[in-house]
């Protein structure tokens, strides 16, 4: 990241400094989250969520973010047991966090395949009311029958229909959020009317995925429409984000790649009648701090070793080779033999990259040969995701340069440790970002839309002033 940081100067020095947006990701159910550290706390007790949310609010973050997965991951036909596992219900935790925070946005992933729009629109409108306008929905599509085994609709969605369903569920949700006029509640003792006559409109929607009609029973919420996040990355996914989302939770973190993604998605906005400021690009990124650059690098290596323990290294290798490799020594060499069968996915319930396994195996073998790496060293090397590594000052500079260089609008920070993993960032990096004039020194608004600089949600009758 240091190299790209050199290249990341803002192209236009005359414009005002862009303001950085920051989200705090609750450590996830995967091997990024280090559980073997003595400072690793509970992954499920409410106190852990409170700690991270209150730390993020102390750091004036835009939002807290909670991911979701609706079936426990399996590896070789059994529940994967090496990573942190166990997570709460998104809505319930976010509503409870609304009680212990005042301004922090509350964002959560909720699946578009295994929820129905009336219920889901109601849950987000409720969260928005109960948090005073801080709700955000990361609308994630899921096609898989594996997860479907936990749900009524069972079955699954054909892959090509998942964006159709996501688009329709958001369309219905917006219809419902607009059903009550902003001034529907009159509550005037003089007229005796609680509701203004005709201020709640019935809805009817007929599409390929939904055939629903009736009347919404939740008054319009403070933000009108909660903020919508989206994470899709395919051409279809980018188009969906450009047309529907307020924030893209992106995977593009390497500087040039991030910049290309940023330009591509922002370019698409015009076609949907939207402006640059209507959509924020925020990649997820982890970070490791140290008092010196050398110490930070050492810390990062230590974190990587904890993330990829001996058993985890073998599990990753098995994923690529598609077979049981438990007899191999994780500190020994990478196997000479090829993956037994092409495209056998022995891990289920996690996001996969669309790449065929034998070519990954070839690439891994080449890297291991070239660098003389053991299995574990290889997995540490190949599964590394971009991290911000450095002193607080250099990490602040990296973040700022990404933002000023139009590679991102901000970052969703993913700590390694629950619940204290964000503490040092807030104490030491945030003040430097503030000194650079790139990050707020107080909340200036009350809603998440305010924090993100998004325009108020339009109503049926036009844009509110």
Partner 1 sequence: MTDRDLHLGVALAPAGHHPAAWRLTEDRTRLWNPGTYAAQAKTAAAARLDFIAVDDSFAPPSGLVRETQGTLDAVAISARVAPVAAGIGLLPTVTTTHTEPFHTSKAIATLDYVSSGRAGWEAKVSDTAAEADHFGRKAVAEPEELYAEAEDAVEVVARLWDSWEDDAVIRDLPTGRYIDRGRLHYIDFEGPHFSVKGPSITPRPPQGQPLVAVRADADAALGLAARRADIVRIAPGNPDAAHTRRAAVRRAVADAGRDPDRVAVLADLVVHLADTDAEARKGLEGLDRAAGRPWRPNAALFAGTPEALADLIGRWHRDGAADGFTILPAALPSDLDAFANRTVPILRESAGFRREYPGATLRDTFGLDRPANRYAGTVTR
CB nearer to partner 1: pick between 16 and 86: 86
* The only residue of 151, 295, 453, 456 in contact with partner 1, by rule CB under 8 A: 151
Nearer to partner 1, 188 or 235 (CB): 188
Both structure tokens of 222 = 């403070």
Question: Please, are residues 134 and 105 in contact by the beta-carbon 8 Å criterion?
Answer: yes
> Among residues 457, 462, 389, 461, which one has the least CA distance to residue 429?
389
Report which of 226, 248, 249, 238 is spatially closest to residue 272, judged by C-alpha positions: 238
Which of 67, 70, 170, 378 is the binder for partner 1 (CB under 8 A)?
70
Cβ atoms of 32 and 286 within 8 Å: the answer is yes
For position 46 contacting partner 1 by CB under 8 A, the verdict is: yes
In the complex with partner 1, the residue whose CB is nearer, 213 or 441, is 213
Residue 18 Ramachandran class (φ > 0 left, ψ -120 to 50 alpha, else beta): beta
| Residue closer to partner 1 (CB basis): 47 or 355 | 47
The two structure tokens encoding residue 450:
């305010």
Cis peptide before 419 (omega within 30 of 0): yes
User: Least distance to partner 1 from the beta carbon of 211, Å?
Assistant: 4
**Spatial contact of 329 and 343, defined as CB atoms under 8 Å apart:** no
Task: Find the radius of gyration of the CA atoms of the chain.
Answer: 23
CB of 64 to partner 1, least distance (A): 14
CB of 206 to partner 1, least distance (A): 9
- Other beta carbons less than 10 A from residue 306's beta carbon: 18
Check residue 71 for interaction with partner 1 (CB under 8 A). yes
Q: Binders of partner 1: how many residues, by CB under 8 A?
A: 75
Among 30, 41, 58, 118, binds partner 1 (CB under 8 A): 118
**How far is residue 158 from each of residues 20, 53, 162, 209, 355, measured CA to CA in Å?**
38, 37, 7, 12, 19
Structure tokens at 196: 């203004």
**Between residues 50 and 393, which has the closer beta carbon with respect to partner 1?**
50
Smallest gap from Cβ 34 to partner 1, in A, equals 11
Residue whose structure tokens are 């973010």: 65
Q: Whole-number minimum distance, CB 132 to partner 1, in Å?
A: 7
Q: Does 310 bind partner 1 (CB under 8 A)?
A: yes
Residue among 116 and 338 whose Cβ is closer to partner 1: 116
Which stretch, 148-156, 245-253, 269-277, 358-366, contacts partner 1 (CB under 8 A)? 148-156
* From 32, 113, 115, 141, residue interacting with partner 1 (rule: CB under 8 A): 115
For residue 347, the minimal CB distance to partner 1 (Å) is 14
Binders of partner 1 among residues 216 to 235 (CB under 8 A) are 216-219
Binding mask 178-217 for partner 1 (x = CB under 8 A): --x----xxx-x--xxxxxx--x---------xxxxxxxx
Neighbours of 128 (CB within 10 A): 28
Site string for partner 1, 163-182 (x = CB under 8 A): -----------------x--
Are 3 and 323 within 8 A, CB to CB? no
Q: Is 407 exposed, middle or buried (0-12, 13-18, 19+ CB in 10 A)?
A: buried
């Amino acid at each position: 990241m240091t190299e790209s940081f050199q290249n990341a100067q803002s192209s236009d020095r005359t414009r005002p400094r862009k303001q950085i947006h920051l989200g705090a990701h609750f450590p996830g159910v995967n091997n990024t989250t280090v559980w073997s550290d003595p400072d690793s706390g509970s992954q499920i007790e409410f106190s852990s969520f409170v700690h991270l949310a209150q730390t993020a609010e102390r750091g004036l973050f835009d939002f807290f973010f909670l991911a979701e997965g609706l079936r426990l991951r399996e590896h070789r036909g059994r529940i994967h047991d090496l990573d942190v596992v166990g997570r709460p219900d998104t809505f319930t935790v976010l509503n409870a966090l609304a009680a212990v925070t005042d301004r922090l946005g509350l964002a959560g992933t909720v699946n578009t395949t295994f929820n129905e729009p009336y219920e889901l629109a109601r849950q987000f409108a409720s969260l928005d009311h109960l948090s005073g306008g801080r709700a955000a929905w990361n609308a994630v599509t899921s096609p898989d029958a594996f997860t479907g085994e936990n749900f009524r609709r069972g079955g699954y969605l054909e892959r090509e229909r998942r964006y159709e369903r996501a688009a329709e569920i958001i369309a219905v949700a917006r219809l419902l959020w607009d059903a009550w006029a902003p001034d529907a509640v009159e509550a005037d003792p003089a007229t005796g009317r609680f509701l203004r006559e005709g201020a709640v409109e019935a809805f009817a929607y007929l599409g390929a995925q939904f055939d629903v009609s009736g009347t919404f029973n939740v008054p319009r919420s403070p933000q009108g429409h909660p903020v919508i996040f989206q994470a899709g990355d395919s051409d279809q996914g980018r188009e969906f984000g450009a047309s529907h989302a307020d924030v893209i939770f992106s995977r593009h973190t390497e500087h040039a790649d991030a910049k290309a993604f940023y330009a591509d998605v922002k370019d698409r906005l015009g076609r949907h009648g939207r402006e640059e400021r209507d959509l924020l690009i925020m990649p997820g990124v982890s970070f490791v701090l140290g008092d010196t650059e050398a110490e930070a690098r050492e810390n990062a290596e230590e974190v990587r070793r904890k993330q990829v323990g001996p058993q985890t290294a073998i599990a990753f290798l098995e994923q690529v080779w598609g077979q049981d490799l438990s007899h191999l020594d994780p500190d020994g060499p990478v196997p000479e033999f090829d993956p037994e069968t092409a495209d056998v996915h022995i891990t289920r319930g996690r996001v996969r990259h669309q790449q065929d396994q034998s070519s990954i195996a070839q690439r891994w073998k080449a890297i291991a040969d070239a660098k003389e790496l053991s299995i574990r060293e290889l997995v540490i090397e190949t599964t590394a995701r971009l991290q911000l590594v450095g002193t607080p000052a250099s990490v602040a500079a990296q973040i700022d340069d990404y933002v000023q260089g139009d590679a991102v609008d901000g970052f969703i920070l993913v700590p390694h440790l629950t619940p204290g993993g964000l503490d040092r960032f807030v104490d030491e990096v945030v003040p430097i970002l503030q000194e650079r004039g790139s990050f707020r020194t107080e909340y200036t608004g009350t809603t998440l839309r305010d924090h993100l600089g998004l325009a108020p949600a339009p109503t049926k009758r036009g844009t509110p002033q």
